[in-house]
Amino acid sequence: MENRSLMAYDSNNIFAKILRGEAPCIKLYEDDLTLAFMDIMPQADGHVLVISKEAAETLLDLSEDGARACVVTTRRIAIAVKKALAAEGIFIAQMNGAAAGQTVPHIHFHVIPRTAGAVVRMHGVERADDAGLNAFAAKIRAALADA
């Protein structure tokens, strides 16, 4: 992993542990530069996280190649989530720094399906059960395979 060191990177953060295989995740997609998996505290059903494999805390720390790869994977995941969940819209969010609401200090993009009028749950609060997460993951993987 490359670290551009604009900010000190904490390699003990949970996403770094997921990348090293030291913590589990419900994986949807992986390539040389990115990994996509289910958010365990989803703000809506089908909430996915796309992370870079670089040791970067924020988008500002990421290399341009890493940023490009994240956007390409985020777009690919967004298309699959929209199809899998029959979502009317897709909200994509990306926070940089605690002051901006970032709680995990490893660069990531949120992909959140939206339906008009549906309430979005609080950020990172309610742990979803694994059976439900796995069911949504199976639908998203099928949509990715169809793409």
Q: Which residue, 49 or 144, has its beta carbon nearer to ligand 5GP? A: 49
Q: Which residue, 12 or 146, has its beta carbon nearer to ligand 5GP? A: 12
Q: Which 3 state secondary structure label does DSSP give 11? A: coil
Binding site for ligand 5GP (CB under 6 A): 14, 25, 37-41, 49, 95, 101-104, 123-124
Q: Are 7 and 65 in contact (CB under 8 A)?
A: no
Element spanning 142, H or E: helix 130-146
Q: Are 53 and 35 in contact (CB under 8 A)?
A: yes
CB atoms within 10 A of CB 65: 12
Smallest separation, CB 108 to ligand 5GP (Å) = 6
Q: Which residue, 112 or 146, has its beta carbon nearer to ligand 5GP? A: 112
Which of these is catalytic: 47, 106, 108, 110?
Answer: 108
Smallest separation, CB 126 to ligand 5GP (Å) = 9
Q: How far apart are CA 71 and CA 42, in angstroms?
A: 20
Is-catalytic flag, 106?
Answer: no
Catalytic machinery residues: 108
